[in-house]
Chains A and B, each alone.
Chain A
Amino acid sequence: ETGVTQTPRHLVMGMTNKKSLKCEQHLGHNAMYWYKQSAKKPLELMFVYNFKEQTENNSVPSRFSPECPNSSHLFLHLHTLQPEDSALYLCASSPATSGSSTDTQYFGPGTRLTVL
């Protein structure tokens, strides 16, 4: 349960605030992901990083800005968010690029974000 950690666990922010979500993995993985989980939508993939390089941006608005300084850390910088951005933001990691034993994604506990 401590392989992928996220901070903070809860965040309330106004629309004009700037905040950052942090994810850290202690599993030696090289791929990291940001997902958005809303009440009535599936897990929505936002960004994918492989070996610190962004390999996927799933048409995410620019008010969400990811940063991956190394394979163990992933950030999501937030600015001028909208109330509809309120959701659970989940981070995940996996060993590497695709292969027979490297596909499993391990999730963090998530950050519950509320935008007022």
Chain B
Amino acid sequence: GENVEQHPSTLSVQEGDSAVIKCTYSDSASNYFPWYKQELGKRPQLIIDIRSNVGEKKDQRIAVTLNKTAKHFSLHITETQPEDSAVYFCAARKGQAGTALIFGKGTTLSVSS
């Protein structure tokens, strides 16, 4: 079945450094790839998403890149801050239509000051 692999499972960086989280997906029909941030004890919240018709999208310190040929996409956080510490989940749409998402296992990002 459809699968999303996410790496690394944990990531520790110093404040001000960049962080990169990578995901690969198996369903070649997937065309929508959101990223969610979940702080401790809180609900997942969308931080950025990308569709298959673009290769990169940026929103302030956060960017996502997509390589459809290789079926992988990445989250880039620049100038990290302690408040960026959280669990980050990537996801891919299940198929080309419909609304179901397949999530990766999550990356726990720790930013130390």
Residues of A participating in the B interface, judged by any CB pair closer than 8 Å? 4, 31, 33, 41-45, 48, 50, 55-56, 90, 94, 96-98, 100, 103-110
Q: Does B51 contact A (CB under 8 A)?
A: yes
- Min Cβ gap A35→B in Å is 8
B43 contacts A45, C-beta separation under 8 Å: no
Query: How distant is A58 from chain B, measured CB to nearest CB, in Å?
Result: 8
**Which residues on B are within 8 Å of A, measured CB to CB?**
4, 6, 32, 34, 36, 42-46, 49, 51, 89, 91, 93-94, 96-106
A45 and B99 contacting across the interface, CB-CB below 8 Å: no
Min Cβ gap A87→B in Å is 14
Nearest A residue to B45 via CB reads: A107
- Find out whether the CB atom of B34 lies under 8 angstroms from the CB atom of A104: yes
A1 and B49 alpha carbons, distance in the complex (Å): 20
Q: Please, which residue of chain A has its CB at the minimum distance from the CB of B32?
A: A103
| Choice from A103, A106, A108 contacting B93 with Cβ under 8 Å | A103
Are B106 and A48 in contact, CB atoms less than 8 angstroms apart? Answer: no
A109 pairs with B43, CB closer than 8 A: yes
A31 B99 Cβ-Cβ under 8 A: yes
- By a CB distance below 8 angstroms, the chain B residues around A56 are 98, 100
| A98 and B103 within 8 A (CB) | no
> Once bound together, how far apart are the Cα atoms of A96 and B98, in whole Å?
9
